[in-house]
Amino acid sequence: MSWLVLREAVRAFLANNGLETAATLAYYGFLALAPLLLLLVYSLGHILVSSDTVLANMVEFTGNVFPSFSQELLVDLMSFAQGGTWGLVSIVLLIWSMTPFAGALRSAYHRAFKVDRTQNFLLYKLRDIGAVLLLLAIFVLLVTLNALHFIRSEWLPAHSPGVLAAGKGAGLFVLTVAILTLFEKVFVPVRVRLPILLLGALFVAILLGVIRPLFDLLLQFNPNYGYAFGSLKAIFLLMVWVYYTFAVILLGAELMAAVWRRDSLVLRRLFTGHGHRPATAVLLERYARDLAPQTLLFRQGNTGAEMFYVLDGSIELSAGAEKLRVMRAGDYFGEMAMLLETPRTATAQAGPEGARLATIARDNFDLILRENPQIVRALLKEMADRLKATDQKLNNHGG
């Protein structure tokens, strides 16, 4: 299951043009960075009275988040933020200027989870504003904690540098996972259980922890990287790092989406010609149901909330005293009552040798149909063939 989920996450990342989307988000993120830092400096100015304290902690914060961040740029932003009078209109405009970034990120998560954007523009903008305010609150909290020495080293003994480094590293990692979990909770467009959010956050945090030293190593051994951009080299490096960061975040989103629909990923294999493979048989164990010979599965007129796929044995379908059809391995039935929410049109019971079935719930089947047009075509063809066979049978009886 783990291999199937990981493979589907990578496949979906490539199919959804994850690298191109990451480039778009890097562009929007770069445009939103200056307003974010301005709001951050303004907010910290009311929490941390000393401008030197604000600057020192902002330098440490940006250095941890963004490699090779220009300290001169940060000093200019602080001078601008502290040199003018801030009004409500200025703050609102800065927040509004960051909403395109939040909207682009939300669209990327919608593509990952295959969810249509059906809400109106105003509601989406309100949610984007809420996401921006939450992002600002997270950054304010991080810098404030840093200033209050919650993530500094003074609380550990000075003679234990190894314990100091390990403790700070572990604390930063746990904090990163917690922040990413909250971040995903805001942008994931469906209801996802907390373990899935934690898995996605842990995956992103580990990957970021791997590529960060690699990026630093690249800059160390290739100090002229981005030299062609001259005085804009720092901005170029910042854009490259943000691009890598969003590529990792989008891959984490695809991983969460694959885990969220893992049931449909397994059951989909029944309709794509992979149902006979040994690996599929192992995965299907949790969905399998065994029926003894002649065991009744459902009666005509019963309500039906699921459909069935025959893995082994046979199922006899009948209406009244008339035997309609025998379903064998590879056949499926019960989809009409499930999709149309109507009573069962036939009675189903296991054949003389019994049967082994895979039960497919409505939600999983909806996901399968939504993401696999070829299965929809195969299903329509199967339904047309059944209607044709029924018409021929009625015509023969009429003759």
The pLDDT value given to residue 70? 62
The pLDDT value given to residue 396? 65
Residue 373 pLDDT class (50, 70, 90 cuts): confident
**76 compared with 114, residue with greater pLDDT:** 114
pLDDT digits 0-9 by tens, 20-68: 999 999 999 888 888 888 888 777 776 765 666 666 777 777 766 666 6
Residue 375 pLDDT class (50, 70, 90 cuts): confident
Q: Which residues are CB-contacts of 363 (< 8 A; sequence separation ≥ 6)?
A: none
Q: Which residues are CB-contacts of 391 (< 8 A; sequence separation ≥ 6)?
A: none
**82 compared with 364, residue with greater pLDDT:** 364
pLDDT digits 0-9 by tens, 71-81: 666 677 667 66
Give the residue extent of every domain in the chain.
2-260, 264-398
Judged against a pLDDT cut of 60, whether residue 159 lies above it is answered with no
Grouping H, G, I as helix, E, B as strand and the rest as coil, residue 101 is helix
State the residue for tokens 């005293």. Answer: 321
Asked if 358 and 309 touch (Cβ cutoff 8 Å), the reply is yes
pTM of the model: 0.78
**262 compared with 154, residue with greater pLDDT:** 262
Residue 332 pLDDT class (50, 70, 90 cuts): confident
Grouping H, G, I as helix, E, B as strand and the rest as coil, residue 325 is strand
- How crowded is the C-beta side of 223, counted as CA atoms within 13 Å? 1
Residue 151 pLDDT class (50, 70, 90 cuts): very low
Judged against a pLDDT cut of 80, whether residue 255 lies above it is answered with yes
pLDDT digits 0-9 by tens, 283-297: 778 888 899 999 999
Asked if 254 and 12 touch (Cβ cutoff 8 Å), the reply is yes
- How crowded is the C-beta side of 243, counted as CA atoms within 13 Å? 12
Averaged pLDDT for residues 85-103: 84
Residue 224 pLDDT class (50, 70, 90 cuts): confident
Q: Average per-residue pLDDT in the chain?
A: 80
Judged against a pLDDT cut of 70, whether residue 372 lies above it is answered with yes
Give backbone dihedrals phi and psi of 119, rounded to 5 degrees, phi first: -80, 160
The pLDDT value given to residue 261? 87
C-alpha to C-alpha distance for 317 and 314, rounded to whole angstroms: 10
Judged against a pLDDT cut of 70, whether residue 230 lies above it is answered with no
Domain over 264-398 is classified CATH 2.102.10.10:
no
Residue 3 pLDDT class (50, 70, 90 cuts): confident
Q: Which residues are CB-contacts of 8 (< 8 A; sequence separation ≥ 6)?
A: 258, 265
Residue 277 pLDDT class (50, 70, 90 cuts): low
Q: Which residues are CB-contacts of 306 (< 8 A; sequence separation ≥ 6)?
A: 334, 338, 359, 360, 361, 362
Angle between helices 88-112 and 161-187 (to 10 degrees): 80
Percentage of residues in the chain having pLDDT higher than 70: 78
